[in-house]
């Protein structure tokens, strides 16, 4: 199996894509063998550009080719059933994982602090904070990480790094305590931590997006 992912600034290492990180975390959690192939916009294989719009992450398993992180993860869950990452409650926390990244990206893309965009992001963080009050575990659904955590964790990695980098004086007041605790827990869990990439890649990516 091969997974094509966005390359880092050097063109060869694994880049700052939270969607690819999600897929790699699921592959790790399931204990699957997979060759990760970082590609830039200029050196993607022709079949990926011509038949799949160059979309990454892209999983290739023999003749089967799948794009879109959530579709790839569904494919992996249905094809390799020895270890299931999804749990019964994962669907019920989708509202926590779906709204977060668009609100985060809108806020972080603006070079100047924008109160309205921060309020939108803060609303998403508030949902997560309230959920963690009653979730009963360090993770979203259980005492161990499930699909929802492996989805949200890579996005919180971007949040943690960019807030500390772009808002160093504000960061301590920006995150509700339960979100902070959850973030540390999820970023330390092996599927996320062991599939991570350098913080500098995240900063380089968002610095370019803020121009
Ligand atoms: N909705 C897609 C989003 C994937 C995406 O945005 N990938 C970006 C990086 S985060 C990418 O690979 N860009 C590099 C490229 O397209 O060459 C998914 O969930 O897979």
Q: What is the pLDDT of residues 78-99, one digit of tens each?
A: 999 999 999 999 999 988 889 9
d(CA 38, CA 9): 11
What is the pLDDT of the chain when averaged over all its residues? Answer: 96
Structure tokens at 200: 């500098």
Ligand 1 mean position to 202 CA, how many Å? Answer: 14
Q: Which atom of ligand 1 is nearest to the CA of 15?
A: 9
**Does the beta carbon of 74 sit less than 6 angstroms from any atom of ligand 1?**
no
Predicted confidence band of residue 41 (pLDDT cuts 50, 70, 90): very high
**CA angle 46–50–53, rounded 5-degree value:** 115
φ, ψ of residue 170 in degrees (nearest 5)? -105, -20
Q: Whose CA is nearest to atom 14 of ligand 1?
A: 6
Give the per-residue pLDDT at 137. 82
Strand partners, 61: 64
Q: Which atom of ligand 1 is nearest to the CA of 67?
A: 20
Structure tokens at 192: 């996320």
Ligand 1 mean position to 55 CA, how many Å? Answer: 6
pTM here is 0.97
Calculate what percentage of the chain has a pLDDT beyond 90.
Answer: 93
Give the per-residue pLDDT at 144. 94
**Residue among 19, 41, 104, 147 whose CB has most ligand 1 atoms within 8 A, to mutate:** 19
**Residue among 41, 55, 58 whose CB has most ligand 1 atoms within 8 A, to mutate:** 55
Ligand 1 mean position to 54 CA, how many Å? Answer: 9
149 neighbors 196 (Cβ within 8 angstroms): no
201 neighbors 9 (Cβ within 8 angstroms): yes
Calculate what percentage of the chain has a pLDDT beyond 70.
Answer: 100
Give the per-residue pLDDT at 113. 95
- Specify the range with the lowest mean pLDDT, choosing from 13-17, 131-135, 157-161, 163-167: 131-135
Q: Taking residues 107-127, report their average pLDDT.
A: 96
Continuous H helices in the chain: 18-30, 46-52, 69-79, 94-98, 100-109, 115-134, 147-166, 171-174, 177-188, 190-193, 199-209
Give the per-residue pLDDT at 135. 87
Ligand 1 mean position to 132 CA, how many Å? Answer: 29
Where do the domains of the chain lie, and which CATH numbers do they carry? Answer: 2-79 (3.40.30.10), 90-209 (1.20.1050.10)
Place of tokens 């089967």: 64
């Amino acid at each position: 199996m091969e997974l094509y992912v966005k390359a880092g600034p050097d063109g060869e290492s694994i880049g700052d894509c939270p969607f690819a990180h999600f897929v790699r975390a699921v592959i790790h959690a399931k204990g699957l063998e997979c060759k990760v192939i970082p590609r830039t916009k200029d050196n993607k294989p022709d079949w990926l550009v011509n038949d799949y719009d160059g979309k990454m992450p892209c999983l290739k398993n023999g003749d089967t080719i799948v794009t879109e992180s959530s579709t790839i993860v569904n494919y992996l869950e249905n094809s390799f059933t020895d270890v299931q990452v999804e749990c019964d409650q994962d669907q019920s926390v989708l509202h926590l994982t779906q709204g977060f990244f668009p609100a985060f990206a809108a806020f972080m893309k603006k070079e100047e602090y924008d109160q309205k965009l921060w309020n939108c992001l803060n609303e998403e963080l508030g949902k997560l904070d309230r959920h963690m009050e009653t979730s009963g575990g360090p993770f979203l659904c259980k005492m161990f990480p499930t699909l929802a955590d492996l989805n949200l964790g890579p996005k919180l990695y971007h949040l943690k790094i960019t807030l500390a980098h772009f808002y160093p004086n504000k960061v301590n007041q920006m995150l509700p305590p339960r979100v902070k605790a959850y973030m540390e827990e999820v970023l330390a869990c092996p599927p996320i931590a062991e599939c991570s990439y350098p913080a500098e890649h995240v900063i380089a990516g968002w610095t370019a997006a803020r121009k």
